[in-house]
Amino acid sequence: MADFKDLDDRAWSVRELYAQLETERYGRPWSREEVALGFVGDVGDLAKLVQAAEGVRAIPDAKAKLAHELADCLWSVMTLARLYEVDLEGSFLSTMNELEARLKP
């Protein structure tokens, strides 16, 4: 299984491919803001798939699509972290430590 750095590097290599495609189509890669707006769209898609998983929306192959959309959202978060020079792994571990300390009796 891949470690976090491997996943982060893979996410960034896909971002670089998207940047090439965006440059071909639009004359420039998406800005950080546009990447964030794309993430918002992914979260909306995720919400619909969660509804489907709960039986309140009819979407064929909802479970497989839910897994795909969760991966898309993770890609977006990892990409945004790199675009904003955030140590996502370190921040995640620190935040989980803070939450655990706050929640433990």
pLDDT value at residue 1: 85
**DSSP element (H, E) containing 29:** none
- Among 103, 49, 90, 57, residue whose Cα is nearest residue 73: 49
Q: What is the pLDDT of residues 40-66, one digit of tens each?
A: 999 999 999 999 999 999 999 999 999
The model's pTM is 0.93
Q: Count the neighbouring beta carbons within 10 Å of the beta carbon of residue 68.
A: 14
**Residues 12, 78: Cα–Cα separation, whole Å:** 8
Which residue segments constitute the domains of the chain, with CATH numbers given? 4-103 (1.10.287.1080)
Indicate if the pLDDT at residue 35 is higher than 90. Answer: yes
Cα 74 from chain centre: 3
